[in-house]
């Protein structure tokens, strides 16, 4: 069992079935725990999204382990201080930014969080153009229930087109 599963199972309602019980009951237990894990993961993702929308960059970093990392299209930020700087960069460049949850799911020992970013590039040196782009983060959740590692991706060419021309013209 991965650390991700151990955390969410440990925090969930525990329906222990003894090995002597029917296999259909063990399958039911597994399905029930998975539903609870997904519910907890969705709650975590909602709170993470709210942190991004709060315009408080340090609150985003609290979802990461103290030595956690965030990689955005390969650019690595390690530790809460660096993660706060990355979040602040987006918040400054897009003062009206909104982050929307598109989907969140468990994939093996990782969680995948799909999102859509919307905002107007009105920060210092901004283009004034509105952007709307989607991406995802693959999370490795640590024993403490925080993100130990996040590998984020989005279409940077589409993002650049939108910065130059705006969302309506690039689609």
Q: State the CB neighbour count (10 A cutoff) for residue 135.
A: 19
Q: Which pLDDT score, from 0 to 100, does residue 36 have?
A: 53
Longest dimension (CA), the chain: 67
- The 10s digit of each residue's pLDDT in 5-60 is 444 444 433 333 334 445 554 554 444 445 558 889 999 999 999 999 999 999 99
pLDDT at 139 over 80: yes
- The 10s digit of each residue's pLDDT in 116-130 is 999 999 999 999 999
Average pLDDT over the chain, rounded to whole?
Answer: 84
State the pTM of this model: 0.80
The residues, any chain, with a CB within 8 Å of residue 98's CB and separated by 6 or more, are 53, 117, 118, 119
| Structural domains of the chain ordered from first start | 3-170 (3.10.450.50)
pLDDT at 169 over 80: no
Measured CA to CA, the distance from residue 150 to residue 159 in angstroms comes to 20
- More confident position, 33 or 68: 68
Q: State the CB neighbour count (10 A cutoff) for residue 52.
A: 21
Q: State the CB neighbour count (10 A cutoff) for residue 139.
A: 29
Q: Which pLDDT score, from 0 to 100, does residue 13 have?
A: 33
- The 10s digit of each residue's pLDDT in 84-100 is 999 999 999 999 999 99
Measured CA to CA, the distance from residue 125 to residue 135 in angstroms comes to 24
Please compute the mean of the pLDDT values over residues 53-72 and round it to a whole number: 97
Query: Phi/psi class of residue 145: alpha, beta or left (left: φ > 0; alpha: ψ in -120 to 50)?
Result: left
């Amino acid at each position: 069992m991965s650390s991700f599963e151990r955390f969410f199972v440990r925090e969930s309602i525990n329906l222990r079935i003894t090995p002597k019980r029917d296999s259909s009951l063990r399958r039911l237990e597994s399905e029930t725990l998975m539903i609870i894990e997904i519910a907890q993961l969705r709650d975590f993702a909602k709170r993470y999204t709210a942190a991004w929308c709060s315009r408080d960059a340090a609150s985003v970093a609290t979802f990461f382990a103290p030595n956690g990392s965030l990689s955005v299209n390969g650019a690595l930020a390690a530790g809460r201080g660096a993660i706060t700087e990355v979040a602040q960069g987006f918040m400054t460049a897009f003062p009206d930014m909104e982050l929307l949850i598109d989907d969140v799911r468990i994939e093996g020992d990782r969680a995948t969080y799909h999102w859509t970013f919307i905002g107007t590039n009105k920060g210092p040196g901004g283009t004034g153009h509105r952007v709307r782009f989607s991406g995802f983060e693959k999370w490795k959740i640590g024993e403490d229930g925080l993100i130990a590692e996040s590998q984020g991706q989005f279409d940077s060419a589409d993002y650049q087109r939108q910065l130059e021309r705006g969302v309506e013209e690039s689609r």
